[in-house]
Chain A
Amino acid sequence: MEGKRSKVRMCCLCNQSRASLNRPKTLQQICRDCFYLSFENEIHQLIIDNHLFTPGDRVAIGASGGKDSTVLAYVLSKLNRVHNYGLNLFLLSVDEGITGYRDDSLETVHRNQVQFGLPLKVVSYKDLYGWTMDEIVKLIGLKNNCTFCGVFRRQALDRGAAFLKADKLVTGHNADDIAETVLLNILRGDIARLSRCSSIITGEDGPIPRCKPFKYTYEKEIVMYAYFKRLDYFSTECIYSPNAYRGFAREFIKDLERIRPRAILDIIKSGENFRISTNTKMPEQGTCERCGYISSQKWCKACVLLDGLNRGLPKLGIGRSRPGIGCKEENESRGVKSIESKQCGSLDF
């Protein structure tokens, strides 16, 4: 290539503006405005086709201040206005009580509240469980802390949503997340989760149904959208998570995306098409005796963990006392790679 840079390409949809990006989903070279439209319309269509909402619904948007939830809040509130969904939207944030990390991301959410004009509710571990993550880590160290956080967070969102009388909870889990989860469940032998994880709505029989409007949205597009629209989001690793690892599974998905971008959607399609044998024993759903949350055991996991903390027996409910199992946590605190990208369990839906 000599002389000037290669010719400017025009958007293949409108042919009027310069193309700004290559959509991984469709391999189209499109301009920014066409991108915004396609991006937003696909999500709108998904919401309509799957009957995610009813007019009048109170919808809590799980907001962490990160890219997915920020873009979700922005797009959802825009679609709500433009297409008259008639929804009452608000932001729901969880404060785990991690100094330096959560403070900053919560600040972002507060800014979003102002920027997008959505009310915000913050639920804290302290209020719900009587412990902050800082306090827990002080007690148990850096091993197994992610276990606590993951379990507590999941319940915190549900409890926060219930407290606010929400009808639905939406989270920003994107196509890459769901593809990773499908793979992880195969790798870990979790057939129960495998059957649920590619559904766009989960927990319909539980306290609050959860939806994932970004189910088919590529992570790359979310970042592009946020970048072009100059949306404000926060992106730092949780300070308690081991340094410098990206799960094997996520790495694999990224390598895959590079060879064949549609593979991410293909994994989700496979997940949707898996038919689980009826012979397989699936756990029964009941409620926790202590707090009433859904559980397949007598006590839900959070109650078990809390009980341990409160009694000064923080190991209670962590793994099993068999050789080899502890190794996983050892590896994590030493920064050795694990198979999943988010140790905090936020991929569990």
Chain B
Amino acid sequence: MQLTLEFGGGLELLCDSKKIHNVNVEQQNGEDKLTMKGLLSWVKTNLIKERPEMFMKGDTVRPGVLVLVNDCDWELSGQLSTLLEEKDVVVFISTLHGG
């Protein structure tokens, strides 16, 4: 599945300082549906190059990290159980920075 992933608020530092990633996510376990939960573990394995604890806590994102799926708060679409579709844009923003 082709997806565009964006990292902001400092999270880009965890993935080689690259903010935007165009990725192709392979489904695991032969499932044909990709949920946010699946995507998160894929991201953790494939994109996060350092300090994974700044991005995830347990099987969800660390408290303080906002997640938007197609510019919509993932809390509205079920958080981890949000279903992803081809060409979706997922944005991760860390709120934990000084301002």
A interface, CB within 8 angstroms of B: 1, 5-6, 9, 18-22, 29, 64, 66-71, 172, 176, 219-220, 222-224, 227-228, 233, 235-238, 243-244, 246, 250-251, 254-255, 257-258, 341-342, 344, 346
Whether B76 and A223, one on each chain, are in contact in the complex, defined by CB atoms closer than 8 angstroms, is: no
B-side interface residues, number (CB < 8 Å): 31
Whether B76 and A246, one on each chain, are in contact in the complex, defined by CB atoms closer than 8 angstroms, is: no
- Give chain B's interface secondary structure class: loop
Residue in contact with B10 in the complex, picked from A6, A219, A235, A255, CB distance below 8 Å: A235
Which chain B residues lie closer than 8 Å to A224 at the CB level?
66, 73
Whether A228 and B77, one on each chain, are in contact in the complex, defined by CB atoms closer than 8 angstroms, is: no
Whether B99 and A67, one on each chain, are in contact in the complex, defined by CB atoms closer than 8 angstroms, is: yes
Nearest 10 A/B pairs, CB to CB: A66-B99, A68-B99, A254-B63, A21-B73, A22-B75, A67-B99, A235-B97, A254-B64, A235-B10, A223-B95
B11 to chain A, nearest CB (A): 9
- Please report the number of residue pairs spanning A and B whose Cβ atoms sit closer than 8 angstroms: 95
> How many Å lie between the Cα of A327 and that of B83 in the bound state?
48
Residues facing A in B57-79 (CB within 8 A) are 62-64, 66, 68, 71-73, 75-78
Which chain A residues lie closer than 8 Å to B94 at the CB level?
235
> How many Å lie between the Cα of A20 and that of B64 in the bound state?
18
Whether B71 and A233, one on each chain, are in contact in the complex, defined by CB atoms closer than 8 angstroms, is: no
25 A-B contact pairs sorted by A residue (CB < 8 Å): A1-B78, A5-B82, A5-B85, A6-B77, A18-B72, A20-B72, A70-B99, A172-B99, A219-B64, A223-B66, A223-B93, A224-B66, A224-B73, A227-B8, A227-B66, A227-B68, A235-B8, A235-B94, A236-B13, A238-B98, A244-B54, A250-B96, A254-B62, A254-B64, A255-B63
5 additional A-B residue pairs with CB within 8 Å, beyond A18-B72, A224-B66: A219-B64, A235-B94, A236-B10, A250-B96, A344-B98
If A9-B76, A228-B71, A237-B10 touch, whether A341 touches B66 (CB-CB below 8 Å) is no
> How many Å lie between the Cα of A99 and that of B78 in the bound state?
43
Which chain A residues lie closer than 8 Å to B68 at the CB level?
227
Whether A223 and B63, one on each chain, are in contact in the complex, defined by CB atoms closer than 8 angstroms, is: no
A277 to chain B, nearest CB (A): 34
Residue in contact with A20 in the complex, picked from B63, B71, B81, B95, CB distance below 8 Å: B71
> How many Å lie between the Cα of A246 and that of B66 in the bound state?
16
Which chain B residues lie closer than 8 Å to A251 at the CB level?
63
Which chain B residues lie closer than 8 Å to A228 at the CB level?
71
If A5-B85, A237-B97 touch, whether A220 touches B63 (CB-CB below 8 Å) is no
